[in-house]
Amino acid sequence: MDYQVILQILDSTLRLATPLLLACLAGLFSERAGIFDIGLEGKMLIAAFFSAAIAATTGSVWIGLFAGISASVALAMLHGLASITFRGDQLISGVAINFLAAGLTVLISEDWFQQGGRTPQLAGAARFNPIDLPFADTFSVVPILGPIYKEVISGHTILVYAALLAVPLTWYVLFRTRFGLRLRAVGENPGAVDTAGISVTRLRYTAVVICGILCGLAGAYLATGFAAGFVKEMSAGRGFIALAALIFAKWRPWQALGATLLFGLLDALGTRYQNIEVIGFNVPVQFMQALPYILTVVILAGFVGKAIPPRAGGAPYVKER
């Protein structure tokens, strides 16, 4: 394996990890506030569709991005309404959102574009194009570090950089601001927040909306940055992988970056090495492509140590006498 190949794998790791990272941070905000969200998948999917559809129609990826985020936030509010206001079961609401998104995207796109559940191919200003960071070519002559800068760090869409920036930002918000303290508290013991004179409902809705925005970014990246248009079911379980990464990361932002990069790496390896031979045995392509999903199962089965979720997670808050 030469250096160039390693760089290429790392480069696609970053691209593949981006939607996972955004969705994982989305889940982090929601679950830290005590709202379990298995509807990350659905929100990503609907954002992917609307961002591509509006970008294709208007020719502007930025309007598309806004539409995608709006759609995702709308579903997030629906989840909030069901689980905060009406104190429903958060898992059932999440499942419903996934089904709703899977059905709606195909139905609307077929009616709108008649291309078998796809949106038209996006090009030019209708999609996010790679940005070459300054001096990429100048530095490329520097041994080892130069190529890393040019091949791995530079040349991504703006959403990749936004996702990476979101990690320290999330850490800062969560652990260094008043809002973060309250958010973490409401996921652990909403009674403490309520008796301190803070609205549990408002805090949790805020968390759910942040979750919607980040899922919207993840979905928009899929359809307008990573790919060039929407294809049905294009989220392909990434919302669930992001949830597994969240558990792996024990609901912490920096660890979320590490976990999603690991999943991205497995995905990149599976895509690059369709057929590899290990000790004379030909590993089938299906196995390579299933690697991220296998890791998901392993993580969810609890093989990575004890992960304690936020204590009030999954339970609606009811004032007690």
Residues binding other proteins (CB under 8 A):
175-182, 184-185, 188-189, 191-198, 311, 319, 321
Scan for tokens 């759910």, then name that residue: 208
DSSP H or E segment with residue 24: helix 3-32
3-state secondary structure of 116: coil
Nearest of 161, 145, 156, 202 to residue 179 by alpha carbon: 202
Nearest of 87, 88, 91 to residue 38 by alpha carbon: 91
CA atoms within 13 A of residue 51's CA, in its CB half-sphere:
36
Nearest of 57, 43, 58 to residue 104 by alpha carbon: 43
Nearest of 25, 98, 39, 42 to residue 260 by alpha carbon: 25
In the numeric block, which tokens belong to residue 113? 């574009």
Q: Which amino acid is at 221?
A: Y
Q: Whole-angstrom Cα distance, residue 268 to residue 13?
A: 5
DSSP state of 277: E
DSSP state of 84: I
Q: How far is CA 142 from CA 1, 73, 135, 139, 172, in A?
A: 21, 44, 11, 5, 34
CB of 223 to other proteins, least distance (A): 35
- 8 A C-beta contact, residue 151 and residue 138: no
